[in-house]
Homo-oligomer: A and B are copies of this chain.
Amino acid sequence: MIMQKWRAARRLLRYSPKSLFDTRSNPNSEHSISRSASGFAHCVDGEKYHPREFPPYIEHKKERSLWNTTERGLERTSRIQYRYFGSLASKIQRNPSFSTLNSDDINYFKSILGEKNVIEDEDTLLSANTDWMRKYKGSSKLLLQPRSTQEVSQVLKYCNSRRLAVVPQGGNTGLVGGSVPVFDEVIINVGSMNKIISFDQVSGVLVCEAGCILENLVSFLDNEGFIMPLDLGAKGSCQIGGNVSTNAGGLRLVRYGSLHGSVLGIEAVLANGDVLDMLGTLRKDNTGYDLKHLFIGSEGSLGIVTKVSILTPPKLSSVNIAFLACKRLFQLPAKRRLGEILSAFEFLDNESLNLVLNHLEGVRNPLPPSMHNFYVLIETTGSDESYDKEKLEAFLLRSMEAGLISDGVLAQDINQASSFWRIREGVAEALMKEGAVYKYDLSLPVEKLYNLVEEMRTRIDVSSLVVGKDRCGYVNPQGVPCRNNLNSNSAKVIGFGHLGDGNLHLNISTPQYNDMILAQIEPFVYEWTSKHRGSISAEHGLGLMKANEIFYSKSHETVQLMASIKKLMDPNGILNPYKVLPHSIISYS
């Protein structure tokens, strides 16, 4: 039957590969925003998703509309219940060595940047102080918008001499509280530095300023016949400087690797205002320590990235998508057999599929009704449609014969391809409709990846039963009183994610947020991840949220060296304070 489908699919496959590709990276897919009937957007899981609309990139290009759109976003999401983690900030002491902003400071900044780029407007500051998820809120009184590396340098030199703490900010699309102030840090937004400096058609090397919005770069490259090696749901707002500073992962990592591989050079400004020109455009350069890597993923705590040089892959014309059912998750040799054309290797479990089918309108299971453990979405992208498709079919046939695939179907047209992606992308949206969701984004060895879901399922079941017995009088070992009743059917534990990258999105859904459930999940989820040498942050970074959890993934000696490097490069600690490194290890002078 499966072969008949594939043959049929092959005969009928007449869609435009370009459109197909575009569909996947559409901001209105799961990997970005899913709109509910009520007209405002939900934040969805996994990558950097955002509870506000992405304006078309052209808007960004014409005027720097970051703050306007943020304001719009705040209006539209006003009915969403959100909670600031004020308690987190209250546990942190403001670094007493930092100065407080005065009028002389503001006058100085105006003299450098001009009046209009020194912003004290309350509404604008409210947006800039608040993260996308509306979990974190600072109380900065000043937003600076430099237009050049030289201006960033002058600002930082001054702030350093005055011991004024700063928060570097790009699209403010982070999910871990890394891009907003904790207290009254000065916000430095590089969004005005948004020029493309050069593009080399031969090497595919793009050089641009840090404030370029990812989608603008995608659009620019599309005309040149190239693509960005990273693709994020937040691409309508996130900026390349922020992408580099947070080592953003995203959808294409399985194919093009991390930014440590594709970023060829950067320019960065240090805390003291020194400009590091490391804006090389070469694939090979072994002249001294490769310091650009210190800035990739350090979340603006070592310097502000002002320019980026990045290797972009050629755009390929042929895209094929298969939706498969499997008994076992990790034995499908897609990376081995399709290595050179594989461009997505995603999975969801049976519970995820049921959620999508139950909650999302118009979604159908493309396979005949039957119980399967896992569903896998495989996408190939190559330069020759017919050869690539035949290669994929041969792989699927072999996997089916080996019993690794129970059933499957190849997209026959663009609508079918979109419907396959809609299932994978719809999981997070469907979860939102269940109630409260505890979300974890973890890297794990791929063969152990799903074990955590199963263990968590058992654990939450047992926990729910205990709570069910004990009702609200129960106090868990962490001393957190139980607030809500819960029965064994009310918690759902599901797993989906990027199989090709060993990146699990573990989600626990309950009717309401419940501290008892949270205590059952954490620190267990971090401990389990640590025990299996996984990472507690696959792609979001540590920010404020997980700065103190770093030891689950990094050794004490390694963190100590990180702290020494931070101290070396930013002796006054003015750059993005209270983030990334644990508060216990950072000493304030």
Contacts and interface: CB of A to CB of B under 8 A. Distances in A.
Interface residues of A, number: 93
Contacts of A225: 336
7 contacts: A202-B330, A203-B502, A253-B283, A253-B284, A282-B443, A283-B503, A568-B568
A289 B277 contact: no
A200 B387 CA distance: 30
A552 B290 CA distance: 15
Contacts of A171: none
Interface of A: 200, 202-204, 225, 246-247, 249, 253, 257-258, 260-262, 270, 274-278, 280-291, 293-294, 296-298, 302, 313-314, 316, 330-331, 335-341, 382-384, 387-388, 390-391, 394, 443-447, 501-503, 533-542, 546, 550, 552-555, 557-559, 561-562, 564-565, 568-569, 580-581
Contact of A287 (B285, B313, B537, B564): B537
B553 A285 contact: yes
Contacts of A277: 555, 557-558
Copy count, this protein chain: 2
Given A289-B297, A445-B203, A565 B565 contact: yes
A2 to B, nearest CB: 20
Contacts of A391: 383-384, 387
A443 B205 CA distance: 14
A253 to B, nearest CB: 7
A286 B297 contact: yes
Contacts of A383: 337-340, 391
B443 A283 contact: yes
B538 A340 contact: no
Contacts of A534: 282
Given A558-B277, A565-B565, A537 B286 contact: yes
Given A203-B445, A535-B287, A384 B387 contact: yes
Contact of A261 (B249, B261, B276, B313): B261
A204 B445 CA distance: 11
Contacts of A314: 335-337, 339
Nearest to A567: B568
A340 B388 CA distance: 11
Nearest to A299: B286
A336 B203 CA distance: 9
B290 A382 contact: no
Contacts of A290: 247, 260, 293-294, 296-297
B445 A281 contact: yes
Given A284-B538, A285-B537, A289-B294, 20 more contacts: A202-B446, A203-B445, A225-B336, A257-B283, A258-B283, A260-B290, A261-B262, A282-B444, A283-B502, A284-B501, A286-B297, A286-B538, A287-B535, A287-B537, A288-B298, A288-B542, A314-B339, A316-B339, A384-B394, A568-B568
A501 B203 CA distance: 9
A500 to B, nearest CB: 8
Nearest to A384: B391
- Greatest chain B CB density within 10 A among A336, A340, A537, A581 is at A340
A219 to B, nearest CB: 19
Contacts of A542: 286-288
A554 B287 contact: yes
B260 A331 contact: no
Contacts of A580: 288-289
Contacts of A552: 287
Contacts of A270: 561
Contacts of A444: 282
Nearest to A386: B387
Contacts of A447: 200, 202-203
Contact of A535 (B285, B316, B581): B285
Contacts of A382: 340
Please provide the 7 A-B residue pairs with the shortest distance between their CB atoms, ordered closest to farther: A261-B261, A293-B293, A285-B535, A387-B387, A314-B336, A284-B538, A287-B553
A445 B338 contact: no
A271 B9 CA distance: 61
B565 A284 contact: no
A339 B311 CA distance: 13
Nearest to A541: B286
Nearest to A265: B533
Contact of A291 (B338, B501, B561): B561
A474 B261 CA distance: 50
A315 B569 CA distance: 43
